[in-house]
Amino acid sequence: MTVLQPAVGGLSRRGFLKGAATGLVAMSILPSGLVVGEAFAQMPKATKPETFASLVQMSRDCYPHDQIPDKHYATAVEIIDEAARGSPDQLDLLETGMAALNKAAAAAHGVPYAQVKAEADRVALLKAIEPDPFFQKVRGNLVVGLYNQKDLWPVFGYEGSSFDKGGYLERGFDDIDWLV
């Protein structure tokens, strides 16, 4: 599992989580099934609302970026959810996988996965299921679902396609002044 932990403005991930508890604690599932978080509101199309909310927390734990609001993680999960709508097998994989993760979390911590307070404890639960097809499916889809959001590219310093701008060679590709 790839875990990136950049510090932004001197604020570490741990410090952020201490101040904000966890992203999911601030999430609510309304009676209509609408999942509402600090910066997003999504209506799952295939998965149960609690599964969707747990997948948002799982995506943040797999690819933690303090500077990225939950709405971008929810957008990445929405792509997985939409794909599951057209595939009963994929939907079953998500629902049974999350049920198993919740069961493991309940056995270890007495609460479902998304309610485990400590990030390190949630990450340990994910590492335990890393070879599982459920984890691999979610993690693999998150790579594209999260990092292919154009409005996030500037956050990571990616300028987008270079072909229409003449390529990389004349646009800083060979700037190695950091090596000197």
pLDDT (tens digit per residue) in 68-108: 998 999 999 999 999 999 999 999 999 999 999 999 999 99
Q: What confidence category does residue 165 fall into, taking pLDDT thresholds of 50, 70 and 90?
A: confident
Query: Which residue, among 29, 61, 46, has the nearest Cα to 128 in the 3D structure?
Result: 61
Residue 173 DSSP symbol:
I
Structural Rg of the chain based on CA atoms: 18
Of 179 and 94, more confident: 94
Of 32 and 54, more confident: 54
Helical (H) or strand (E) element with 42: strand 41-42
* Other CB atoms within 10 A of residue 62 CB: 22
Of 173 and 71, more confident: 71
Predicted local confidence at residue 8, as pLDDT: 46
